């Protein structure tokens, strides 16, 4: 019986070799970096991401987690709550996104009135 194919990250749909462009090919949307933010803050289950204040739709969350798994930015582990439930955690590649999220946080706090980082502490 053949082994199931392991999905690997593919640079298939790159618009250019520019690293900024390639990064945006992966997370250039309104939602992906919010999932990364949540993971940085210690939220790690599907229902945690759904509970974040931005209200990510279920189908978009499913799609973004699938892409992040395919790109080896997150990995699946057993939830600490129950071995039956899966949780997500950042890989080394995923943790390396922290400076991007941090820079966005700093920019937002400085330039967008009324933003508050207090909501970003782990719950």
Contact footprint for a second copy (CB under 8 A): 11, 15-26, 28-31, 33-34, 37, 52-55, 93, 96-97, 99-117, 119-120
Give the nearest distance from C-beta 9 to a second copy in angstroms.
Answer: 8
Q: Which residue lies nearer to a second copy by CB, 4 or 99? A: 99
Q: Which residue lies nearer to a second copy by CB, 12 or 82? A: 12
Q: Whose structure tokens read 């990364």?
A: 36
Give the nearest distance from C-beta 14 to a second copy in angstroms.
Answer: 8
Measured CA to CA in angstroms, residue 100 lies from 7, 10, 30, 38, 89 at distances of 26, 22, 14, 14, 18
Give the nearest distance from C-beta 113 to a second copy in angstroms.
Answer: 7
Q: Which residue lies nearer to a second copy by CB, 5 or 111? A: 111
Give the nearest distance from C-beta 85 to a second copy in angstroms.
Answer: 26
């Amino acid at each position: 019986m053949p082994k199931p194919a392991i999905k690997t990250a593919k640079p298939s749909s790159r618009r250019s070799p520019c690293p900024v462009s390639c990064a945006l090919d992966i997370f250039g949307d309104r939602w992906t970096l919010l999932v990364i933010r949540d993971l940085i803050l210690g939220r790690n289950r599907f229902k945690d991401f759904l509970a974040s204040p931005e209200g990510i739709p279920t189908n978009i969350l499913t799609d973004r987690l699938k892409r992040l798994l395919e790109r080896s930015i997150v990995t699946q582990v057993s939830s600490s709550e129950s071995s039956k439930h899966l949780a997500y955690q950042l890989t080394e590649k995923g943790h390396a996104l922290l400076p991007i999220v941090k820079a966005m946080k700093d920019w937002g706090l400085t330039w967008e009135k009324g933003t508050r980082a207090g909501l970003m502490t782990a719950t």
